[in-house]
Amino acid sequence: MKVKTILIIVGIIIIGYIGINIFIDSNTEFSKTVISEASVLASDACIEMKQYDSALYFADLALKKNESDTRALERKINAYTELSDYDRALDNYDHILEVNNGELTTEMWLGKGKLHARLGQDEMFVNCYEEAIKDYSNILTKNPGDNTTLIQMGSLLGKLQRYDEALGCYDSLLGRDQENAALWIGKGDAHFYKFLKEQGKLRDLYKNMTSRKETKKDVSFNPYDCHRQAIECYKKAVELDPMCYPLVVAKILGTYEETIEGYQDILEDL
């Protein structure tokens, strides 16, 4: 939407707001509803124009009429997030939780989790994402064939380093659509990041053995197999869509230097 159009809309809303206060008793339910609606619309327009302080002002106008207006609280979350004031944004998420008796939409759990991640609050970040996983699981219980939810769940499980579960999602999806390059990329990513995680375990194992903390250890994982399977998935994706090739190369080369350094450390420990 063009800025000029947005300004006109905001102007109409403000005029309407002033008129309402002059001609209507502000204590009636009708006036409260109209003012709240106008304020939320004005907040939306201000966010669109990146006028975040004004967006907060209008959201607060709506909350004066109804302190449980979750729409206004969502606008405040958006504005505070854009202003990088993550603590205040999280305060408004907590307010919505109070209003909704501890419930948030899946999108809100994800948004709240991202803010905790930006603040380095790993435990809270994981808790929020786990709540989103529960929502996805509930949806899939009712509709196992919901591919969109399966894709979202697979991606989220990967972010939580629950790679085997993520692979289960991608296997289910590929069982229905073997020709989808994006799904092969997703499955490859799950294998590849599992490889990186297991590689760290392998390095720790070598350090323990060389420091004589342990003399023998049964290796219950195979990071090299994870890497092989990741490459196979990426190759399949490129076969289906050659335009994936630069993306695949970037993913692999992006960790190449780190991998070499890791194994150099292992060799030095031996």
pLDDT of residue 258: 52
The tokens 């219980």 sit on which residue?
141
- Check pLDDT > 70 for residue 164: yes
pLDDT of residue 260: 45
pLDDT of residue 248: 84
Sign, CA dihedral 214-218-221-222, equals positive
- Check pLDDT > 90 for residue 214: no
Nearest to 116 by CA among 126, 101, 106: 126
208: confidence class by pLDDT, cuts 50, 70, 90: low
Q: What's the pTM value of the predicted model, to 2 decimals?
A: 0.74
- Check pLDDT > 80 for residue 84: yes
- Check pLDDT > 60 for residue 170: yes
Segment 37-59, tens digit of pLDDT: 888 988 998 999 999 999 999 99
Long-range contacts of 173-177 (CB under 8 A, 24+ apart): 173/147, 176/145, 176/147, 177/147
**223 or 10, greater pLDDT:** 223
pLDDT of residue 249: 83
**95 or 25, greater pLDDT:** 95
> What tokens appear for 125 in the block?
């970040």
pLDDT of residue 2: 54
- Which percentage of the chain shows pLDDT scores above 70? 73
Long-range contacts of 70-73 (CB under 8 A, 24+ apart): 70/96, 70/99, 70/100, 71/40, 72/36, 72/39, 72/40, 72/43, 73/99
H helical segments located in 24-162: 29-48, 52-65, 70-82, 86-99, 106-118, 122-142, 147-159
| Averaged confidence pLDDT in the chain | 82
- Check pLDDT > 60 for residue 147: yes
- Cβ neighbors of 82 (< 8 A, separation 6 or more) are 47, 50, 52
Segment 86-125, tens digit of pLDDT: 999 999 999 999 999 999 999 999 999 999 999 999 999 9
Segment 228-240, tens digit of pLDDT: 899 999 999 999 9
- Check pLDDT > 50 for residue 268: no
Segment 245-255, tens digit of pLDDT: 888 888 777 65
